Amino acid sequence: MTQPQSPTQAQSPGGAQRAPGAPKPQARKPEIPPEFQAEAIMKLSEAELVRILEDPQATVFQKAKACQRLATIGSKAAVAPLAALLADPQLSHYARFGLEPNPDPAADEALRAALKKLKGSLLVGVINSIGARRDAQAVDALAGLLSSADAEVARAAAAALGRISGLRAARILEDALRRTRGPVRSAVAAGTLVCAEGLLEQGERDRAMALYQTLMRPDVPKPVRLAAMHSTFAAETSLRRAR
């Protein structure tokens, strides 16, 4: 009958006996496949990153990492390759991440162009990016989307108009406040509040105060109405202190 081995007789994985007191062999760390080596991708130049985006053989992971790196170093050269991914359900978010901080006006043009091509959540994402970039040239296009049959699209357009702010956006939002209903109207009211705050920052105090007055009407959703009252008080108090 075979006797069980003692600890000092334990064998190594290869079958050889391990000497007493000898350290256990270390398991090898699995090597990361080249297509998942994020650190290497994050060190590439803009031209090399663009080549990854344009390479049909590149993996989703590689392209996602390239988008992330282009958010930091991307220039006009990166805009078109990033924009080409806006319709990709897996990579659209990463493409927008790369486009939003891009300093070239071409990024604004690419996002505006995508408004006519996308639907659903992909369109909502592009609208959000336009709002983040505060692209005043997109105001009219966003105004048209306030009437979208997709409530999420309409709500995103209202939020983006609020972030962009300005006199044109203020007129559009104020008009939409009169004709929209339900969740879209709540989003329009919130967007109008943000727009008024932007007008104050831009020195358009009278127009901002007029918007606050509109938002204090009884038919405006209560959270926005109370916020407008608070903002009005804060603006008036600040003005008195400045005198």
| H-helix or E-strand spanning residue 189 | helix 182-201
Q: Looking at per-residue confidence, does 180 or 27 come out higher? A: 180
pLDDT tens by residue, 179-238: 999 999 999 999 999 999 999 999 999 999 999 999 999 999 999 999 999 999 988 887
Q: How many residues make up the chain in this entry?
A: 243
* Domains with residue ranges and CATH for the chain: 35-114 (no CATH), 120-243 (1.25.10.10)
The CB density around residue 83, as the number of other CB atoms within 10 Å, is 21
Rounded-to-5 percentages of helix, strand, coil across the chain: 65, 0, 35
Q: pTM for the complete prediction? A: 0.83
| pLDDT attached to residue 107 | 98
Tell me the C-alpha distance between 100 and 108, whole Å.
9
Cα 99 to chain centroid distance, Å, stands at 10
Phi, psi of 71 (to 5 degrees): -65, -25
| pLDDT attached to residue 23 | 64
| H-helix or E-strand spanning residue 156 | helix 151-164
| pLDDT attached to residue 37 | 80
